[in-house]
Amino acid sequence: MRAHPTAEALPCRFLASPRFETFYALHGLTARQRGLHRGWLSWAEQRLSPRCRAALGTFQGVPAIWLALADIDRSSGTGSGFDSALAALAAVPARRLVRDALAALIHSDAMAESIFAGRPLTQALAALPARKREWLTHIGLFPPLATAPAVETLRRLVADPPAAKQAALEALGAFWRDVFSETWKRLRPQFAASVVARRREFAASGLAEFAKAYALRIEIDSGRGEIAALRGGYRLAFDRVAEIRLYPSAFNPQRFWTVLPAAHGRVIAHLPYVEPAADPMSARKRTPPPTRLPAPPLDPALIFRALGDPTRYAIAGLIAQGPMTSAELARILAVSPPTMSHHVHILREAGLLSERPQGGAIAIGLARRAVESISPLALDRWFGDGASPRPHRSRRRR
């Protein structure tokens, strides 16, 4: 049997580009994303033209549409700038553009096609696999209520793809002219310095350690020869990777990443990392010092799922008393190493772990900050501004 490539053999390249950053910034602006640069948010909102505001209104309720549109340029960056991405979107037929954006949002090509074939949107969303519900909840599509703003917006986009495409191109073009071209002038020298500094760190540590240090939403599974997403169950075999591209980012605190096709059936993984020294309101070039970043924003759905399993709850109780290795936990709880690895993966995905080297292993502890935040996060999700709308009551008998 042919051995799979090692993580160290994967070709990796650092780039400074507005290619994805523009979409992340527009997503953050329209979602009023927590943890984003407040000064920049106020400045950007003041600079938006009436034309840009009108076009953005077409997509109200679905800020994640900008993340989906960033994935539609299937050229994998034949040009690395924003102009090339916008030109690629303009070349896509309207029906395909909306269909591909919908597929990127719900993570299902087949289901997106069925919606365009006439399947009711709420019915299609309800039929998606349970493992996708955390993501769908995050973007406002679960539970699939007909009155949910995101569902209503998607229904309009599917009903009129030419109008949706025109509004998307107008919004993106105006956002670049009004806001992000100036923002990019400030960020470009900072990102150039970041590429130099982080490339040096990467050379000394490797992909797995870099991913941990910068809290990327991936795990390097050398045993299986795969890159595993920390959310949604996606796994990418090393031998399918043509290249990994790493980009400094100031607007991606949730560590979104994507995989786009390359030649010969292989793919390019695009992995933005948060650059902590980046300041979109400053034109000063900074050489960022090596640092470890705070964890991505916590999600109560992931935390409850992680702690809802008796074994993982027991693990949390043990490591709350002091850090332990996976091998020690497996021995105490009488589970196999692969099973323990699975449980640790889910706890890590939820942001519940702190980790530090211990000899030749990694000792894991319970992240107190995450536990203390469970109640406030749940209260905000269920009773705050992001709460799901109430379903309309019907007088019909069921």
The domains of the chain, with CATH numbers, are 11-16+185-274 (no CATH), 20-181 (no CATH), 300-383 (1.10.10.10)
Q: pTM surpassing 0.85? A: no
Angle, helices 94-106 vs 161-175, to 10°: value is: 80
- Whether the CB-CB separation of 155 and 30 falls below 8 Å is answered with no
pLDDT(6) > 50: yes
Q: How many alpha carbons lie under 13 Å from residue 115 in its C-beta half-sphere? A: 31
Higher-pLDDT residue of 149 and 78 is 149
What share of the chain in percent tops pLDDT 70? 89
Bond from prior residue into 143 cis (ω within 30 degrees of 0): yes
| pLDDT tens column, 182-229 | 999 999 999 999 999 999 999 988 998 899 888 898 988 888 899 988
Q: What is the mean pLDDT of residues 86-94?
A: 93
| pLDDT tens column, 120-147 | 999 999 999 887 887 888 888 988 999 9
Cα gap 56→171, rounded to integer Å = 6
Q: What is the mean pLDDT of residues 264-281?
A: 92
Predicted confidence band of residue 289 (pLDDT cuts 50, 70, 90):
low
Which structure tokens are listed for 269? 């993984």
What share of the chain in percent tops pLDDT 90? 54
Q: What is the mean pLDDT of residues 307-327?
A: 91
pLDDT(388) > 60: no
- Whether the CB-CB separation of 294 and 328 falls below 8 Å is answered with no
Predicted confidence band of residue 34 (pLDDT cuts 50, 70, 90):
low
